[in-house]
Chains A and B, each alone.
Chain A
Amino acid sequence: MALLKKAQIQTGETIAVVIIVVFIIVLGIVFYFNFMSGTIDEDRQRASDLDSVSTAIFVSKLNELKCSRAASASFICFDLYRVKAFNESLNEPMIGSVYHSLIGYANATIRTYYPEQGKEYTFYSYEPSNITGERSSFIPVLLSDPVENKKYFAYLEVKVFS
């Protein structure tokens, strides 16, 4: 009888050890995957920030928007008529698809602040149906009107959507 009880206790011990070991393994796996998903989130955020800045730089350096050679040598200068032409050209599907793939989901707007404040030109707008986040970058630019022979201090806002 005592022997049987001892055997039962030993079997119970073995089962308990197995259960605890399995529990520890499962706990380890859960911690590991939580840690990995945290790292992936951080990487995704960093990639998103990089993406936002590189998109803003890309838009600000588009040759399609730049002033003619004489307008500005040292500042980022946008030609008002190129900006308008670019905006209208995006309505053409072939051209629109090229810039959608180049720039991605974003809004690009120029806002003047001197000498006239508040003039706004949104020359690129491509928003996803479901916006989960957005990041804006601001770059000071010159906006040149070669017909009126005027220049404005302005800033370019590029809002990248995710």
Chain B
Amino acid sequence: MANKKAQIEVSFNWIFVLVAGGLILLFFVMFIMNQRDASGAQVAQVLQSRLDTVFTVIQQTPDSIQTFEPLTFGLEFRCEEGIQSYSVVGSRTATFMDHHIMFSPNQVGGSSGARLVAWTKNFNAPYPVTPVLYFSDEQTQYVFVTDTPLVNELYNHMPDSFSKISVSLQDTVPDEGYRWYIIVVEAETGLPNPENLRNNYDVVTIDATRRLGLINGTVNGIAFVGEEMLWGAIITGDPTLFECSRERLLNRYIVANKIQMKRIEKVREAYETQGAGTDCEDIYSDSGDAMETLRRINTSIHVVLDDNNSNLLASSIASFSSLNELSDRRRCGWLY
């Protein structure tokens, strides 16, 4: 009897040891996994915060190009309903880009040895509206079909820091091992043979005219005005991403235009207080040329957004540019 009791006690002891030991082991395993996830999230958070600062600083030096050492992680860019964000590939934390107007492909970085390229230009329409950042990497190749003067000009103008090649319509696009290809053609040209590529490409089809130094038209059926917007379409490749970033840019333009109108008002008030500037009245008055042109710009931005037509905006921008020269010649000061 005592023997049986001892046997049960020993068995029970071992069961207790196994259960308790198993629970303690489980606790430590869960703790380690939680810490690993938290550490990964923390690293992603820190990196994204530093990237945010880097983007802010590099965006403040327009007409500059900078390259960065390869990242060990990839960055994914998303733009939905006017809200642009990016995140480290595999991370659940996204950084929303309130400050930056950026055009970039869906993914940047992550491949070994691929340096990042950041190109900043000021969006001028015709006054400086906002800096625009074009962000890509050396693993994205831009293939220009340079059979037409426009695409040839774009190819020559694109900084050499980007991976770019020039092909003709008769050529087959070579697969040189890049992660993604963006083929740039003019609408009338047609498409070169992409049979070597494994469906890892976007096509950017440009239909544009140049008037009074300003280029406008459509890219993949999406209206654009100005070279800066056209570069946005080329760098991005993806039409949905481009359209979303373009919408953000145009909304900033609306805001900048309203401030410009307010400035005209303030200058007019100052001239009226001075009792001078009657020569400038037709420029600065509320029904004057400057205000009317800025109102037309505001209306035509909405035409671009709603009706996908950029002709009115292009001509309004050209008018305001001429008015600026006229204002200076009449010694009424620069409008911008």
Contacts and interface: CB of A to CB of B under 8 A. Distances in A.
A66 B128 contact: yes
B interface, size bucket:
35 or more
Which DSSP category, helix, strand, loop or mixed, fits chain B's interface? Answer: helix
A162 B130 CA distance: 27
B2 to A, nearest CB: 16
A102 B236 CA distance: 23
Interface of B: 46, 49-50, 52-53, 56-57, 60, 98-99, 122, 127-131, 252, 255-256, 258-260, 262-263, 265-267, 270-271, 274, 328, 333-336
20 contacts: A43-B46, A50-B50, A57-B56, A57-B57, A58-B60, A63-B128, A63-B256, A68-B336, A69-B336, A84-B263, A84-B266, A85-B259, A85-B262, A85-B266, A88-B266, A94-B255, A95-B258, A101-B98, A146-B267, A146-B333
Interface string A64-82: 1010111000000001011
Interface string A6-37: 00000000000000000000000000000000
B122 A68 contact: no
Contacts, number: 77
Contact of A102 (B99, B127, B262, B274): B99
Contacts of B333: 68, 146-147
Given A47-B49, A146-B267, A147-B274, A89 B259 contact: yes
Nearest to A86: B259
Contacts of B260: 85
Contact of B99 (A58, A64, A88): A58
B301 to A, nearest CB: 14
Contact of A63 (B129, B266, B274): B129
A147 B256 contact: no
A61 interface: yes
Nearest to A58: B56
A147 B258 contact: no
A10 to B, nearest CB: 15
Contacts of B60: 57-58, 61
A82 B336 CA distance: 10
Given A54-B53, A101-B98, A89 B262 contact: yes
Nearest to A32: B35
B247 to A, nearest CB: 14
A151 B98 CA distance: 33
Contact of A89 (B99, B258, B267): B258
A70 B270 contact: no
Given A63-B128, A63-B129, A50 B259 contact: no
Contacts of A54: 52-53, 56-57
Nearest to A71: B334
Given A54-B57, A102-B98, A146-B333, A63 B255 contact: no
Interface string A86-106: 101100101100100110000
Contacts of A92: 258
B255 A95 contact: yes
B41 to A, nearest CB: 13
Contact of B334 (A57, A94, A146): A146
Contacts of B259: 64, 82, 85-86, 89, 95
Contact of B49 (A50, A101, A147, A148): A50
